[in-house]
Amino acid sequence: MVTANPAVAIPQSLLDKIVPPERAAGLRAGGARPLVFTNGVFDLLHSGHVVYLAAARELGAALLVGVNTDRSARQLGKAPDRPLNAERDRLLLLAALASVSYVTLFDEATPCELIQRCRPDIYVKGGDYDIETLEETRLVRSWGGRALAIPLLSGYSTTALVRRIRGAP
């Protein structure tokens, strides 16, 4: 997780939003409800991410974002040099967003273990996913929760952004 570096003062307000995965259950017990959960790599934060996360947050009282560790992100079949930003940096960037209540890491192929711990009321993914086929959807619905796909902001993707930065067509 993120720890304060004595040479660089990370504001406590950011550190407070970054929770270890084992503390996710505490969000269920003492946190604001309904709790919304989403997950992803969030490698290069762009407008599409910001709009998506704001829409997710509007569905509940709190938004928990599960972030793939560097290791689990590499297992997703993206380019071999991805993620470009280390997990610590991705956590800090997400924690800085007003729409994000909490961020945490998960190291598995799917966030199902993390979802089981925090038991969100609402699970959301981007509209590029078929929400009905996801294991996460079945899990959240097993305790009466909802699963929704949020439409994505057209024209934004990390892959396209990386291609543009590298000068590829």
pLDDT digits (tens, 9 = 90+) for 93-105: 999 999 999 999 9
Task: Judge whether residue 49 has pLDDT over 70.
Answer: yes
What fold is seen in the domain 17-165? Rossmann fold (3.40.50)
What rounded mean pLDDT belongs to the chain?
87
Peptide bond into 34 cis (omega under 30): yes
Q: Are 43 and 85 in contact (CB under 8 A)?
A: yes
Beta bridge partners of 104: 66
Residue type, 138: R
Q: Is residue 112 scored above 70 in pLDDT?
A: yes
Q: Is the pLDDT reported for residue 138 higher than 90?
A: yes
pLDDT digits (tens, 9 = 90+) for 22-42: 888 888 766 778 999 999 999
Mean pLDDT of 106-131: 93
pLDDT value for 57: 97
Measured torsion, CA atoms of residues 16, 101, 78, 21, in degrees rounded to the nearest 10: 50
What's the pLDDT score for residue 162?
A: 60
DSSP-assigned beta bridge partners for residue 148: 124
> Measured between alpha carbons, how far is 67 from 31 in angstroms, rounded to an integer?
19
Say if residues 120 and 136 touch (Cβ distance below 8 Å).
no
Statement: residue 64 has pLDDT above 90: yes
Count of alpha carbons within 13 Å of 29, Cβ hemisphere only?
5
